[in-house]
Amino acid sequence: MHPLRVQMQRDMKLRGLALRTQETYIAAVAALAKHYRRSPDGLSVEQVHQYVLHMLDERKLSWSSCNQAICAFRFFYGITLKRGVFALEIPHGRAPQRQPEILSRAEVMRVLDAARRLPDRVLLKTTYAAGLRLSEVIALRWSDIDSERMSLRIEQGKGAQDRYTVLSSGLLAELRTYWKLCRPLGPWMFPGRDPGKPICDSSVQRLYTRTKQKAGITKRGGIHALRHAFATHLLEAGIDLHMIQRFMGHRSLSTTQRYLHLTQSHLKDKAGALDLLWSG
């Protein structure tokens, strides 16, 4: 392994960057080096600027994807190579602010019903009913289930934060059925082809896209739409905003508050609100 890569990984680990962030940053710097066919520590600031333009103009990448790469370059040149001025000259782009297209409860059920294989259906249900990010659902282990407290442990979520999220009785029953019928090997709740590793994120995204198309859903968005639906539907069920913030793992309440204007209505009866996620 190249010494620069080793040093960058060490720097990221020391600063507590999440594993997925580390992988993203390494991939971005590797792509930069591949583009110029030379070590990235020998590139000029102008060459890095030109590469960012290449990503935007020729590869047609979104501003959010480019911003991820820019953050990686800032870290590599500013922290690993200690060229702070070099890194600061790279501007951030402003991504268009688009509101997510929220799936209704009926549409979520159509997506779940369209997943014919039990493991696929349970994976999608877990993502929705616990409000998980893609990286969080694929990292779930059977040991993360706490049926006594009716909660799921999310280890090292976004921002390298551990947290607990809700485990509804409906989801617990689904997980128990999945375990009894499929008996997944290894510690992972959703293993990949190699039982020693979890399912990869690209496989899960393809699963969601395929299932959504089969269900006839045309709304934009990948599997993260299930997380958006979770938050919105709980608000409509009258669940407290602060509680939803904890379930979602948001550092700031303002992040959770953006779902307020996406709700359609508030239910008067809050009893059994969590299990409303499962009612037809």
For 98-166, strand residue ranges (E) read: 145-146, 151-154, 163-166
Q: Distance between CA 95 and CA 116 in Å, rounded?
A: 36
Q: Distance between CA 154 and CA 228 in Å, rounded?
A: 18
54 tagged catalytic: no
Joined tokens for residue 77:
């040149």
Which candidate in 49, 153, 224, 246 is catalytic? 224
Which candidate in 51, 128, 178, 259 is catalytic? 259
92 tagged catalytic: no
Nearest to 114 by CA among 214, 209, 226, 206: 214
258 tagged catalytic: no
133 tagged catalytic: yes
Helix axes 105-114, 224-236, angle to 10 degrees: 140
259 tagged catalytic: yes
Which candidate in 105, 121, 133, 228 is catalytic? 133
Which candidate in 49, 83, 158, 214 is catalytic? 158
DSSP 8-class letter at 80: I
94 tagged catalytic: no
CA torsion sign for 139, 179, 150, 238 is positive
CA torsion sign for 188, 189, 190, 191 is positive
Which candidate in 212, 228, 233, 250 is catalytic? 250
DSSP secondary structure letters along 230-250: HHHHHHHTT--HHHHHHHHT-
List b or e across 129-146, with b for residues whose CB sees 16 or more CB atoms inside 10 angstroms. Answer: bbbbbbbbbbbbeeebbe
Q: 73: which strand partners?
A: none
Which candidate in 121, 227, 228, 233 is catalytic? 227
Whether 204 contacts 211, CB under 8 Å: no
Kindly list the catalytic residues: 133, 158, 224, 227, 250, 259
